[in-house]
C-alpha cells in the first residue's frame, strides 16, 4: 500500500527484501483526500517543514488527485516490472483497509508492505495504515518509510 509513486530507492528496497526469491506485488494506492489535510499539515509542522505546512492546501485533492495518483501508480508498476517482478495494482478511493484485507485474502498474500511518509500524529494514535492493517489483514505487516528522489 502506497501513497505516492515509488522512487527507484523504494523499488530497489522492496524488491530485495526476499533475496533471490520470485516476488509479485499487488500495489494499492490511495489518492490524496481533503480529509487528511490537517493531519498532513500537523506532520509537516512536527517535522519542522513549515513551508510545506503552509502550502498543504495547494496540493490536489479529491477528484483532482485521481489523475496524478493514477500516473504514480502506473509509474510504480512499471518500475517494479522493470526490476523483474510481477506487479498489478489499483487506486483505492474508499475504505482502503477493507480493500487491503480482501486483496490479501484473494491473493493469499504472505505479507503486506505499507510504504508511506512519516505520519507522526496518526502513528501516535495508531491510526496510520500499518497499525490499522495489523488488526485487519491477518498476515504480517511491514511498515517502511518512502524515499524521495
CA gap 38, 72 in Å, rounded: 23
The C-alpha cell that represents 24 in the structure block: 509479485
Segment 13-45, tens digit of pLDDT: 999 999 888 899 999 998 866 456 666 666 666
d(CA 52, CA 30): 20
pLDDT tens profile 41-100: 666 666 676 676 555 555 666 677 788 889 999 999 999 999 999 999 999 988 889 999
The pTM of the whole model exceeds 0.85: no
Amino acid at each position: 500500500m502506497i501513497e505516492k509513486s515509488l522512487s527507484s530507492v523504494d523499488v530497489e528496497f522492496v524488491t530485495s527484501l526476499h533475496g533471490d526469491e520470485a516476488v509479485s506485488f499487488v500495489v494499492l494506492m490511495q489518492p490524496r483526500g481533503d480529509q487528511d489535510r490537517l493531519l498532513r499539515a500537523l506532520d509537516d509542522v512536527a517535522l519542522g517543514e513549515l513551508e510545506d505546512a503552509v502550502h498543504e492546501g495547494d496540493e490536489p485533492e479529491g477528484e483532482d488527485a485521481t489523475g496524478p495518483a493514477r500516473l504514480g501508480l502506473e509509474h510504480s508498476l512499471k518500475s517494479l516490472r522493470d526490476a523483474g517482478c510481477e506487479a498489478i495494482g489499483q487506486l483505492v478511493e474508499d475504505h482502503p483497509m477493507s480493500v487491503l484485507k480482501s486483496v490479501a485474502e484473494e491473493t493469499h498474500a504472505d505479507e503486506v508492505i505499507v510504504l508511506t511518509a512519516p505520519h507522526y500524529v496518526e502513528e501516535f494514535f495508531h491510526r496510520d495504515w500499518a497499525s490499522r492493517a495489523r488488526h485487519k489483514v491477518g498476515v504480517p505487516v511491514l511498515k517502511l518509510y518512502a524515499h524521495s528522489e
